[in-house]
């Protein structure tokens, strides 16, 4: 048996002992093996994919300390609480601590009493901290949310650029392991270059998560949809993301007026109110959180069952990160994006309000357009997401997203497509979707007349449709690759090679029938796809037993003063409710029940099942 096999077996034993899982997931196994080999490693794994295990388990086998660079105080606390609960010596150093507490933790690290130490990237820039760390044996530096190092990522943070100088300034260079949930090929290149990873092994684990049913709904009355959904799903933890503080406050007040306990989170609130709201959500005191995108990055709450985006996010990276906060425990969960064309204007306004150089601004507009195309896509949404991140996949439809569940018939839109493409061609491909729609509608607006577009043969050829319906049709053609938009605040619509084939009669355009524009306050065809991709019928799990187990867990969590999911997550409780363990060996076979956790928390659960017999 070679040394590497032996170390992997040791790692697997530790996984069972502390985490209660018999084996690594395939992606985890390869990354853990790479780190234990002493190789710099880059791991791209979806939210909920178990990234933290990939450096926490090696930390227990490597000599000395593993230093974890983490962006948020709440994220550090969450992970350290979970590690300590499992019996793994861990600590964090951040601005929430006094000088004495910081010194105590550094001394504990020097005595070898801590295996994982979490710090913010800004701390790596401090001379005194670098000096203290130079006196320690640091075997590995793990960089969480590593995409923050790239200005082309969606959370660029300049302090992440301090990681490489810090690592290279240590007396002995440690293994460098970087992790993130989402990264385009450009951002991956940046992470390798800017963190100065040395001939790294790169692992990209499938971003598509089978337990998430993704939906894009267009034309809904958003407020009414939110109220109805929260009323029927309010017993399950869920997050509603909105683009602006004003929308967060409005939804929060409306939910509470409707008797739905909700919290809110945005940068306009005091630190205390944000902290209280987050704590209430973490501890299940409230089930619904309404927030801007500032919320959620720093929490590991595993039992979020649904995430609704009230507005379209600014880019695909942000959407995957935020939607990915649902179902981290692997249980079926729903992610719904409520899209309206006004969302595009909101995001353009936010881009313009953010001071940044022209290259970065152009990049933001390009990403925004790709997000718009996702919202209009009639193909499998998982395809669209994986294609965006350049991930090779088997092209097998997921079967549970709103596109896969769309029951509308395919219709021949070739004639409509030829009219639209011909109009764009005759307008010299120099104008945007709005003006093209006005010309096809036969509008008499000033710009149409100024350019004498009322003289074109295509003028008014779609007068029976509304301008909004024409715009929706053009956006569908963009999403399907017949047309493209230039970058910038005022994008120009242009023909693609496939459109030329349509104009020559060499290609037929078969698509789902576009949904008619709804009258104000009415539902549209989007509601036909509203249902979850999962069966909402009775579960095989005994729900009564499950709820009783949750009460036991809640009591333990209150005594320990930690969120309930840190004791055991929902998936573990569901397996318990099926197995009904009455002996220690049965309990230890349940995923998520490690030896340390069993000793600390197992007794009341065993007692409950023994009393059921």
Mean of pLDDT over the chain: 88
pLDDT tens digit string along 317-354? 889 888 988 998 888 999 999 998 888 888 888 888 87
Q: What is the pLDDT averaged over residues 40-58?
A: 90
pLDDT at 532: 52
Q: Which range (6-15, 287-296, 412-421, 448-457) has the least confidence?
A: 287-296
Judgement on whether residues 602 and 463 belong to the same structural domain of the protein: no
pLDDT at 519: 40
Judgement on whether residues 224 and 369 belong to the same structural domain of the protein: yes
Judgement on whether residues 90 and 229 belong to the same structural domain of the protein: no
Q: Which range (106-110, 403-407, 418-422) has the least confidence?
A: 403-407
pLDDT at 330: 84
Judgement on whether residues 490 and 605 belong to the same structural domain of the protein: no
Judgement on whether residues 453 and 575 belong to the same structural domain of the protein: no
* CATH code (residue 505): 1.10.10.10
Band (463; pLDDT cuts 50, 70, 90): very high
Judgement on whether residues 327 and 424 belong to the same structural domain of the protein: no
pLDDT at 530: 44
Judgement on whether residues 258 and 333 belong to the same structural domain of the protein: yes
Q: Which range (23-37, 150-164, 362-376) has the least confidence?
A: 150-164
Residue 5 has pLDDT above 80, yes or no: no
583: containing domain: 543-611
CA Rg, the chain, in Å?
26
pLDDT at 204: 87
* CATH code (residue 336): 3.40.50.300
Does residue 536 lie in a domain region?
A: no
Task: Find how far residue 268's CA is from the centre of its chain.
Answer: 23
Judgement on whether residues 473 and 366 belong to the same structural domain of the protein: no
pLDDT tens digit string along 115-148? 999 999 999 999 999 999 999 999 999 999 999 9
Does residue 523 lie in a domain region?
A: no
Judgement on whether residues 549 and 594 belong to the same structural domain of the protein: yes
Judgement on whether residues 472 and 326 belong to the same structural domain of the protein: no
Judgement on whether residues 367 and 273 belong to the same structural domain of the protein: yes
Does residue 277 lie in a domain region?
A: yes
What is the bridge-based pairing of β-strands 493-495 and 483-485? antiparallel
Nearest to 419, CA basis, from 459, 465, 377, 454: 459
Q: What is the pLDDT averaged over residues 590-609?
A: 92
Residue 529 has pLDDT above 50, yes or no: no
Q: What is the number of structural domains in the chain?
A: 4
Specify the DSSP class assigned to residue 528. Answer: G
pLDDT at 100: 94
Q: What is the pLDDT averaged over residues 297-314?
A: 86
Q: Which of 385, 404, 423 is the last residue of a domain?
A: 404
The pTM (predicted TM-score) of the whole model is 0.76
Q: Which of 178, 204, 230 is the last residue of a domain?
A: 204
Does residue 101 lie in a domain region?
A: yes
Q: Measured between alpha carbons, how far is residue 483 from residues 97, 282, 417, 496, 513 in Å?
A: 55, 45, 10, 5, 18
Residue 374 has pLDDT above 60, yes or no: yes
Residue 152 has pLDDT above 70, yes or no: yes
Decide which of 520 and 391 is more confident: 391
Q: Which range (251-265, 345-359, 462-476) has the least confidence?
A: 345-359
Q: Measured between alpha carbons, how far is residue 240 from residues 220, 263, 426 in Å?
A: 15, 10, 44
Does residue 517 lie in a domain region?
A: no
pLDDT at 527: 38
Does residue 525 lie in a domain region?
A: no
The per-residue b/e assignment along 563-573, b for 16 or more CB within 10 angstroms, e otherwise, is bbbbbbbbbbb
Band (518; pLDDT cuts 50, 70, 90): very low
pLDDT tens digit string along 189-237? 999 999 999 999 999 886 778 889 999 998 788 999 999 999 999 889 9
* DSSP-assigned letters across all residues of 572-592: HHHHHHHH---SHHHHHTSTT
């Amino acid at each position: 048996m070679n040394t590497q096999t032996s170390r992997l077996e040791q790692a697997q034993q530790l996984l069972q002992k502390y985490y209660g899982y018999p084996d690594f997931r395939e992606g985890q196994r390869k990354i853990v093996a790479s780190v234990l080999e002493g190789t710099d490693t880059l791991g791209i794994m979806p939210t909920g994919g178990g990234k933290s295990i990939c450096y926490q388990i090696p930390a227990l086998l490597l000599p000395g300390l593993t230093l974890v660079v983490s962006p948020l105080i709440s994220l550090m606390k969450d992970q350290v609480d979970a590690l300590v609960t499992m019996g793994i010596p861990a600590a964090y150093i951040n601005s929430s601590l006094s000088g004495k507490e910081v010194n105590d933790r550094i001394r504990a690290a020097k005595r070898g009493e801590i295996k994982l130490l979490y710090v913010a990237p800004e701390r790596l820039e401090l001379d005194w901290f670098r000096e203290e760390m130079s006196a320690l044996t640091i075997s590995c530096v793990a960089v969480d949310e590593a995409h923050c190092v790239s200005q082309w990522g969606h959370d660029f943070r300049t302090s992440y650029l301090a990681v490489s100088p810090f690592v290279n300034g240590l007396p002995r260079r440690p293994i460098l392991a970087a992790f993130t949930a989402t990264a385009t090929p450009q951002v991956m290149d940046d992470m390798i270059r800017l963190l100065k990873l040395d001939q790294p092994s790169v692992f990209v684990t499938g971003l598509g998560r089978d337990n998430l049913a993704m939906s894009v709904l267009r034309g809904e009355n958003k407020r009414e949809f939110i109220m109805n959904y929260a009323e029927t799903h309010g017993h399950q933890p869920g997050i509603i993301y909105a683009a602006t503080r004003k929308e967060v406050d409005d939804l929060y007040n409306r939910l509470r007026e409707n008797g739905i306990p909700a919290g809110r989170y945005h940068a306009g609130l005091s630190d205390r109110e944000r902290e209280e709201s987050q704590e209430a959500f973490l501890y299940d005191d409230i089930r619904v959180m309404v927030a801007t995108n500032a919320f959620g990055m720093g929490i590991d709450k595993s039992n979020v069952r649904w995430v609704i985006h009230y507005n379209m996010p600014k880019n695909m990276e942000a959407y995957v990160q935020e939607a990915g906060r649902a179902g981290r425990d692997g249980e079926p969960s729903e992610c719904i994006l409520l899209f309206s064309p006004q969302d595009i204007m909101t995001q353009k306004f936010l881009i313009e309000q953010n001071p940044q150089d022209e290259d970065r601004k152009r990049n933001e507009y390009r990403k925004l357009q790709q997000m718009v195309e996702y919202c209009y896509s009639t193909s499998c949404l998982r395809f669209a997401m994986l294609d965006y991140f350049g991930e090779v996949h088997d092209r097998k439809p997921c079967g549970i997203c709103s596109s896969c569940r769309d029951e509308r018939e395919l219709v021949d839109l070739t004639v409509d497509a030829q009219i639209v493409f011909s109009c764009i061609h005759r307008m010299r491909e120099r104008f945007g979707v709005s003006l093209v729609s006005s010309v096809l509608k036969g509008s008499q607006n000033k710009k149409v007349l100024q350019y004498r577009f009322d003289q074109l043969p295509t003028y008014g050829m779609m007068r029976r449709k509304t301008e909004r319906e024409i715009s929706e049709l053009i956006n569908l053609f963009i999403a399907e690759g017949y047309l493209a938009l230039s970058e910038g605040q005022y994008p120009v619509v242009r023909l693609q090679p496939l459109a030329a084939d349509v104009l020559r009669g060499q290609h037929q355009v078969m698509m789902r029938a576009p949904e008619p524009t709804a009258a104000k306050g009415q539902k549209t065809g989007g509601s036909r796809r509203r249902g979850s991709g999962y069966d909402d019928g009775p579960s095989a799990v005994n729900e009564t037993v499950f709820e009783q187990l949750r009460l036991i867990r809640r009591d333990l969590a209150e005594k320990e003063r930690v969120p309930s999911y840190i004791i055991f997550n929902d998936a573990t409780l569901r397996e318990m409710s099926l197995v009904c363990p009455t002996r220690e060996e049965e309990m230890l076979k349940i995923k998520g029940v490690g030896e340390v956790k069993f000793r600390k928390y197992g007794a009341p659960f065993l007692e409950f099942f023994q009393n059921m017999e």
